[in-house]
Amino acid sequence: MIAEFDIAIVGGGIVGVATAYKLQKAYPNASISVIEKEPKLANHQTGNNSGVIHSGIYYKPGSYKAKLCVDGRRELVGFAQEHKIAHDICGKIVVATEESELPHLDFIYDRGIQNGVEGVERITAEQITEIEPYCKGIAGIRVACTGIIDYRAVTEKLGELLENAQAKSRILLNHEVKEVEHETNATVLKTNRGDIRAKYVIFCGGLQADRLAKKADVKLDMTVLGFRGDYFVLSEKAKHKVKNLIYPVPNPEFPFLGVHFTRMIDGDVECGPNAVFVFKREGYKKTDFDLKDTADALEYAGTWKFFAKHWRYGIEEYRRAFSKKLFLGTLQRLIPDLKMEDLDEERAGVRAMALSKTGDMIDDFKIEYKDNCIHVLNAPSPAATACLAIGEEVRKMASDYFKLD
C-alpha cells in the first residue's frame, strides 16, 4: 500500500519541520508528511548544536543569511514565548584579545548595524570584565539580542502543531528515502518502510542534502562535507567562570566562528567547538569511519582545493581535537584562569558544509527547484535560528513554483 500526501518534506531537522509547519498554516486542508530516517526528530545538526539564538551580526548584508537570521530570530523568540519553550535572551560578547583582531572586530560591528541587529554596542576592556568577570580582552562587542534555546524542543513542538492542525498530516520516523521516482503529476519516495507518493516534495536533508538531490536527478555544482565540532563541558566547580556567551573574534580566513563559551539552557557550559573534517558524515566519535562517505569527499576535486587553501588551520584543528592541553590553551585566550580540571565531559556535533568545485565554502543558504521538487541544498548555521523564516521563504517558493491554491 502506498501512503499518499499532498506535500512531503524529507528531513526531520528543524528546517524541514519548520517548513512543514509553515506550509500547513498556509494550506490547512493539505495533507503534509515529514519523512525522517532517524527514530526521533532533530537527531543530527539540530539536536547536537550549541543551542544559540544567533543575532545576525556576522553575515553579508543583503544575503539570505543576514535577512532570514534577523527575521527568524525575532519570530523564533515569539514562538518560544507563545509555546513556553525554554529560552533566555542573555546576550553575548565578542572579545578581541590582541591588536591584530581590532579591524575585524570593527568589521563585525559595522555588519551588525547594517543588518539591523538591535542592541549591538562596542565595549571596553573594563566593560568586558564587568559582564564576564573571568574573561580578559582589550575590546569587544556586546550583542544584547543573542540568546539560548532548546532547539530539539522547538522542533518537537513544530511537529506536534503540524499533526494537530490536520488529521491527515503525519510525522513518519524511521523512514529512510532510498530512491526517488518521478511520475507525471507526483513523486514516489521509496523508503525502507514502503512507498510514499506526494504531489510535491521538499528536500531538507542537511548532511544528506546532496545525495537526496542526486537521487532526484538534480545535477549539482557542489557537494556536502561533514565537519565535527568537539566540545568540553565545564565542571560544576568551574561553571561560575562563564555567565552567558563569550566568543572570540573569528578568523576571517577560516569559515568557522572559533572556539567559544556557551551557557546552555540546561545550565551546562560548553566550550568549543573546533572544526575537523569527518570520515563519516554522521560520525560523532573521533575514530568514526565510513568508506562511502570518505570516498565521496576525497573523490571531489573541490575538497582538495579547500584543503590546499586551509591546510594550516586544518592541521591545528586536528591537533586540538586530540590534545586536551592544546584545546585548553585556546580557551585560555579568553579566560586565562581556566584549568585542565575545569574541563569535564566531552561532546560532539557534526555540521554540513556545502563546497563548490573551486574549493570555496558556499556561504549563503542555497535552494533550488527541479520538476515538482524543491531542494534546500545548503542551510548551515544560523539555520536553526532562522528556521521559521527559512520555512516561510520555502513556503513562498512552493506557492509560486508549485502554483498552490
Looking from the CA of 140 toward its CB, the CA atoms found within 13 Å total: 27
Rounded to 5 degrees, φ, ψ at 252 are: -65, -15
Q: Sort residue 11 into left (φ over 0), alpha (ψ -120 to 50) or beta.
A: left
Helix (H, G, I), strand (E, B) or coil at 1: coil
What is the C-alpha R_g of the chain? 21
Residue 167 domain-assigned (yes or no): yes
Query: What is the distance between the alpha carbons of residues 366 and 223, in angstroms, rounded to a whole number?
Result: 12
- Cα separation of 110 and 246, whole Å? 19
Task: For residue 4, give its domain range.
Answer: 1-51+150-221+363-405
Residue with cell 568545485: 357
Residue 245 in any domain: the answer is no
The total domain count for the chain is 1
Cα–Cα distance measured from residue 384 to residue 159, given in angstroms and rounded to the nearest whole number: 15
Q: Rounded CA gap, 154 and 148, in Å?
A: 12
pLDDT of residue 126: 98
48 contacts 262 by C-beta, under 8 angstroms: no
On whether residue 61 sits in a domain, the answer given is no
d(CA 332, CA 321) in angstroms, rounded, equals 16
In-domain check, residue 209: yes
- The alpha carbon of 151 is separated from its chain's Cα centroid by a whole number of angstroms, namely 10
Tell me the DSSP string of 80-144. Answer: HHHTT--EE---EEEEE-SGGGHHHHHHHHHHHHHTT-TTEEEEEHHHHHHHSTT---SEEEEET
SS3 9: strand
| pLDDT recorded at residue 314 | 83
Looking at the domain assignment, is residue 154 inside a domain?
Answer: yes
The crossing angle, in degrees rounded to 10, of helices 387-401 and 14-26 is 50
Residue 4: Cβ-neighbour burial (10 angstroms; 0-12, 13-18, 19+): middle
Count of alpha carbons within 13 angstroms of residue 288, beta-carbon side: 19
Amino acid 175: pLDDT: 97
Q: Report if residue 396 sits inside a domain.
A: yes
Give me the DSSP letters along 343-396. EEEEEEEEEEEEEETTS-B--S-EEEEETTEEEEEE--TTTTTTHHHHHHHHHH
Instruction: With both helix axes pointing from N to C terminus, report the angle between 301-321 and 324-331 in degrees, rounded to the nearest 10.
Output: 90
pLDDT of 352 reads 93
Q: Is residue 83 part of a domain?
A: no
CA distance 98 to 293: 39
Strand 92-96, strand 139-143: pairing: antiparallel
Q: Is the residue at 230 inside a domain? A: no
CATH of the domain at 173: 3.50.50.60
Instruction: Pick out the chain residues at pLDDT < 70.
Output: 1, 254-255
The dihedral built from the CA positions of residue 72, 77, 82 and 87, taken in this order, carries a sign that is: positive
